[in-house]
């Protein structure tokens, strides 16, 4: 199966997006906002030719501000479309409320889009589920109500639509366990209990592969990551298998928590959150290919990888050339300075500001002929994002750089067109603000 999928990729390898990389844990800048994507605890739904990524806006921490929606045609470059629901003056969507893990389902009978999410008070004591309805996937939604489904506590949640169009709501009931609930035909109300796992798991995500249901979930450790598990069954009402790990044991699911598993062509992509509870806005996304075969699921870590958005095939990241910041031509006050956690123990500081400090890498070699992804290792000791203008052969775009949190250089990615041969990559400031310190830049060779 794996081999076939790799061959399949070879045949479709001419498609333009084939070398864009998914870099787990990096700053992912939305193409039209220049800001890190704020869509945590998310789900993804395909509607027409586009995928829509719907998740929590953590710009201001845990308190609800927005459920954001981004769109993409290749699952790598995302544009901000708007908020489905935003904070109101009072009520469930008012100030100091918790709204987490929004998931949208499309109801083919009614034509409506139905959103379910965890609704709570700031101390997580209410433990309810909320529902909203929309006429278009990424438009404004009308918030309907919250409740304890069938009278039970409900915190983390997810949704699942079966092949026959029946909808299910997955809820975490702290007293009794993780639940599968059947929804009404219009998906707007919870009609019955289908299954309850006695073991304690949360952050549920379900897929069905060749007649086998897979339930992915995490253990309960708050914002800290743990080894996540899955359980399988050929019937939603069970019996369900015992829980198994799908990532390397002890890796804490590569420092992430399950949010969603997306079916793409013949493949599946695990979508997890790497939460940073001390500053939630700098939480990143850990997306990795998950191999599903029979009744087993397994996932390996990767610094970077390539997804064919048509077939769902995945392959390793490209060969790259690496350029140390200290080899760049520095201008307008940018300087090479000591950085003990950086490669070569140096990084370029004073990018941006006035006059706009810059670092130019003038001999960046590549034989890539398609749009591709540059990985930039940076430092940002602030609590907020910094920004840089990244220009490749004179064409500039803005990239965001999340705070590094004191853990050494972090990564940010930009998707650019490179030319075969020698390219010039310049990192400069944006709007007179200070940019990130640059440790090094990785450029695909092919």
Gap between the Cα atoms of 134 and 132, Å rounded: 7
CB atoms closer than 10 angstroms to residue 48 = 8
CA distances from 85 to 64, 68, 278, 296, 379 (A): 10, 8, 25, 37, 34
Quote the least distance from Cβ 258 to ligand DGJ, whole Å.
9
Pinpoint the alpha helices (H) of 298-385.
none
Cβ-contact 51, 35 below 8 angstroms: no
Residue nearer to ligand DGJ on the CB measure, 111 or 222: 222
CA atoms within 13 A of residue 82's CA, in its CB half-sphere: 8
Gap between the Cα atoms of 227 and 219, Å rounded: 7
Residue nearer to ligand DGJ on the CB measure, 48 or 222: 222
Gap between the Cα atoms of 411 and 402, Å rounded: 8
Q: Give the residue among 173, 149, 156 at the shortest CA–CA distance from 40.
A: 156
Residue nearer to ligand DGJ on the CB measure, 32 or 223: 223
- Please state the φ and ψ torsions of residue 303, each to the nearest 5 degrees: -70, -40
Binding site for ligand DGJ (CB under 6 A): 41, 100-101, 156, 202-203, 222-223, 257
Residue nearer to ligand DGJ on the CB measure, 156 or 173: 156
Quote the least distance from Cβ 231 to ligand DGJ, whole Å.
17
Quote the least distance from Cβ 213 to ligand DGJ, whole Å.
21
Residue nearer to ligand DGJ on the CB measure, 100 or 308: 100
The token duo for 264 is 């793409």
Gap between the Cα atoms of 193 and 161, Å rounded: 16
Residue nearer to ligand DGJ on the CB measure, 41 or 436: 41
Write 195-201 long-range contacts (CB < 8 A, 24+): 195/236, 195/237, 195/238, 195/240, 197/231, 197/240, 199/243, 200/174, 201/172, 201/177, 201/229, 201/243
CA distances from 212 to 162, 172, 242 (A): 11, 22, 14
Please, what's the largest Cα pairwise distance for the chain?
A: 67
Quote the least distance from Cβ 326 to ligand DGJ, whole Å.
41
Quote the least distance from Cβ 159 to ligand DGJ, whole Å.
15
Quote the least distance from Cβ 257 to ligand DGJ, whole Å.
6
Quote the least distance from Cβ 282 to ligand DGJ, whole Å.
16
Quote the least distance from Cβ 218 to ligand DGJ, whole Å.
6
Torsion of CA 446, 351, 58, 102, to 10 degrees: -20
Quote the least distance from Cβ 117 to ligand DGJ, whole Å.
11
Asked if the peptide bond before residue 239 counts as cis, ω within 30 degrees of 0, the response is: yes
Gap between the Cα atoms of 86 and 82, Å rounded: 10
Residue nearer to ligand DGJ on the CB measure, 134 or 204: 204
Closest-CB residue for ligand DGJ?
222
Residue nearer to ligand DGJ on the CB measure, 154 or 358: 154
Helix (H) or strand (E) holding 76: none
Residue nearer to ligand DGJ on the CB measure, 101 or 415: 101
DSSP strand pairing (212-218 vs 229-233) = antiparallel
Residue nearer to ligand DGJ on the CB measure, 41 or 43: 41
Quote the least distance from Cβ 64 to ligand DGJ, whole Å.
12
Eight-class DSSP state of 304: S
Quote the least distance from Cβ 383 to ligand DGJ, whole Å.
20
Eight-class DSSP state of 10: H
Gap between the Cα atoms of 4 and 279, Å rounded: 43
Residue nearer to ligand DGJ on the CB measure, 166 or 200: 200
């Amino acid at each position: 199966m794996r081999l076939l999928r790799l061959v399949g990729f070879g045949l479709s390898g001419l498609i333009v997006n084939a070398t864009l990389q998914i870099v787990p844990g990096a700053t992912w800048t939305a193409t039209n906002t220049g800001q890190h994507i704020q869509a945590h605890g998310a789900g993804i739904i395909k509607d027409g030719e586009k995928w829509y990524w719907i998740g929590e806006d953590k710009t201001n921490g845990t308190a609800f501000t927005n459920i954001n929606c981004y769109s993409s045609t290749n699952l790598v470059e995302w544009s901000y479309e708007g908020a489905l629901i935003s904070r109101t003056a009072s009520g469930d969507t008012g100030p100091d409320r918790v709204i987490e893990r929004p998931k949208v389902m499309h109801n083919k009978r009614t034509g409506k889009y139905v959103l379910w999410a965890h609704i709570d008070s700031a101390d997580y004591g209410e433990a309810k589920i909320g529902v909203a309805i929309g006429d278009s996937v990424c438009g404004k939604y009308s918030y309907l109500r919250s409740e304890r489904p069938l009278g039970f506590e409900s915190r983390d949640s997810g949704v699942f639509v079966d092949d026959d169009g029946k909808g299910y709501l997955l809820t975490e009931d702290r007293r009794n366990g993780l639940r599968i609930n059947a929804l009404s035909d219009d998906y707007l109300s919870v009609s019955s209990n289908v299954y309850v796992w006695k073991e304690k798991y949360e952050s549920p995500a379900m897929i069905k592969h060749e007649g086998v249901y897979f339930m992915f979930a995490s253990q309960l450790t708050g914002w800290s990551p743990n080894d996540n598990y899955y359980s399988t069954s050929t019937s939603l009402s069970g019996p369900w298998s015992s829980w198994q790990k799908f990532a390397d044991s002890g890796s804490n699911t590569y420092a992430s928590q399950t949010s969603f598993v997306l079916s793409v062509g013949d493949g599946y992509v695990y979508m997890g959150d790497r939460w940073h509870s001390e500053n939630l806005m700098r939480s990143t996304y850990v997306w990795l290919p998950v191999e599903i075969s029979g009744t087993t699921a397994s996932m390996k870590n990767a610094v970077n990888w390539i997804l064919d958005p048509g077939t769902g095939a995945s392959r390793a990241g490209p060969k790259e050339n690496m350029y140390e910041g200290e080899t760049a031509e520095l201008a307008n006050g940018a300087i090479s300075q000591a950085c003990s956690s950086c490669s070569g123990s140096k990084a370029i500081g004073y990018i941006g500001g006035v006059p706009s400090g810059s670092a130019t890498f003038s001999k960046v070699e590549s034989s890539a002929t398609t749009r591709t992804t540059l990985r930039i290792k940076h430092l940002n000791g602030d609590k907020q994002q910094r920004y840089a203008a990244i220009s490749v052969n004179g064409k500039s775009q803005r990239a965001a750089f999340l705070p590094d949190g004191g853990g050494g250089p972090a990564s940010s990615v930009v998707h650019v067109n490179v030319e075969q041969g020698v390219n010039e990559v310049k990192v400069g400031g944006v709007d007179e603000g200070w940019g990130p310190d640059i440790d090094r830049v990785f450029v695909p060779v092919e």
